[in-house]
Structure 1
Amino acid sequence: MAEIDQVEVLSLKKACIQKLQQAILSGTFIIGERLPSERDLARQLGVSRPVLHEAVVALNEQGLVQIEARRGVFVRDYRKESSIVLINTLLEYEQGDFASTLFTSLIEGRLLIERETARLAAQRCGKEAVDALQVLLARGRSATVECARALTDYDFCFHLEIALASGNQMYPMILNSLRGVHSNLVGRFYQDIYGTNVVEQVLDNHKQLVQAISKGDAPGASEIMAQLLRDGEENINRIFFNT
């Protein structure tokens, strides 16, 4: 049975952040423009100046604005200056083709990274790492009788464990920075397919990937990972973008 998330009561700060994000991404505030003063923005949004200031600081950390002492707050070109933390915000900003294009970019990035993690895992990992992956496979089977959220958590941990098995310290950090995006997109995917044979197909592919890694088959592991991501892209495009 499909499940829905609990209702979230947004804090004033979070609501303020979302409102400003929408204003910037929609072009209400254009790149290079100086935002109104904190006093004016706080009045327009109906929040206190401290709340508004915290929201602006958060936008600065995301790469959407630049705070310049004694000059004000300016809208950045996020395509050039933002970091990976902005991806989930961009995906949640519903603008049709824009979101679809961003998702394609995300898959292309994951293909570059995760094909390599699978290849390196097959070359480098030892028995302990393979055993950890086997334990995760069993967890995935158990998750099929729990809920879509359990499958989503399992799926992320599976990909993360392969990144850890690669021996490259950067790859797990990159994947962890995408966990919110994973919960957003892959969570919706598992909600849609929960209880169908597609779940079994995904788990079977995971099993094949672990077998390739355990045998030291680097090219095979890389290709299985690529196919997993392409299959996921096809399903999520169908769910989110009707393509």
Structure 2
Amino acid sequence: MEFSKLSAPTLKELFIEQLENMILSGKLSIGEKLPSERELAESMQISRSVVNAGLTEIADKGFLEIVPRSGTYVADYRKKGKLDTLISIMKFNGGSLPDADILSILQIRKVLTALALELAVTRITDDEIKQLFTCSAQLDKANDCTRAAEIVFEFDHLLCIFSGNTLLPLIFYSFKAPNTTLFERFFRLHGFESMRRRTNALCIAIRARDLDSAKEVISRSIDETISGGTTIYR
């Protein structure tokens, strides 16, 4: 058995984690002004260069706003955040997401996969359909939640690639971390069979170039996870 190399977090990573946790827990309120870089460095016993680099990275995620000649303030990350912000929220929650964020991701998946199908079904090649069936067959054999989550994400990402829209696969892939986390939770709670049926039915509908059936399969599956018998909320 191989063991992976262990590495300790850097001071900057520890600084970022502490400040983000204070913001997400509410210990630092939106609009609150942080102490100066010098004061932060002294109180946390780290260099000002670490503080400066950490604050810049946290601000880039939308947690802070750095105002020249005024100071650094806690920002409303819901308004100014990006995908990295969502990853930080997941880490804060022990790798999971609040129910509102789970719902939001499912709603986004529903929109993106519907668009991918609309664009892909009329232009997909026989070779691309074979790739989807191969992916579906891999899911049939998977009995590990992590591996199964990777396969389902790969399947849906292939749909985005086959759509011909150059931005769609990039947008979809940017949500890989939260999506695979939710798929893993789905498999732990509900097993593999329903997702296997979904993926196989989708392959059959796409092979028949039946857009309505394909969209119905994906819509019904996601709706069941949003508010039906296969919910994945905490």
- By the TM > 0.5 criterion, same fold? yes
**Structure 1 residues not aligned, in runs of 5+:** 1-5
Give the CA deviation at 1:46: 4.2
- CA distance in 2 between counterparts of 1:75 and 1:11 reads 23
Amino acid at match of 1:212: A
Residue number among 156, 159, 162 corresponding to 1:159 in the alignment: 156
* Secondary structure of the corresponding residue to residue 73 of structure 1: strand
- Matched with 2:167 is 170
Give the CA deviation at 1:115: 1.8
- Matched with 1:206 is 199
- Matched with 1:142 is 141
Amino acid at match of 1:100: D
Give the CA deviation at 1:108: 1.6
Amino acid at match of 1:38: E
Residue number among 219, 222, 225 corresponding to 1:226 in the alignment: 219
Question: Could you state the TM-score of these two structures normalised by the residue count of structure 1?
Answer: 0.81
User: Percent identical across equivalent pairs?
Assistant: 25
Structure 1 position 181 matched with structure 2 position 178 = yes
- Matched with 1:18 is 17
Alpha-carbon spacing, 1:180–1:42, altered in 2? closer, same or farther (3 Å): farther
Which has the higher relative contact order, 1 or 2, with Cα contacts under 8 A spaced 6 or more apart? 1
More helix by share: 1
Q: Is the 8 A contact 1:213 1:221 kept in 2?
A: yes
Give the CA deviation at 1:43: 3.5
State the Cα deviation string for residues 155-202 of structure 1 (Å, max 9, x = none): 111110011111112221111111111233222333x25xx7x30221
- Matched with 2:71 is 72
Moved more, 199-208 or 65-74: 65-74
Moved more, 66-75 or 150-159: 66-75
Amino acid at match of 2:67: E
Please identify runs of 4+ aligned residues in structure 1 that moved more than 6 A: none
* Secondary structure of the corresponding residue to residue 28 of structure 2: coil
Amino acid at match of 2:220: Q
State the Cα deviation string for residues 125-172 of structure 1 (Å, max 9, x = none): 12222122122122223333xx32211211111110011111112221
- CA distance in 2 between counterparts of 1:8 and 1:143 reads 31
Q: Is the 8 A contact 2:116 2:168 kept in 1?
A: yes
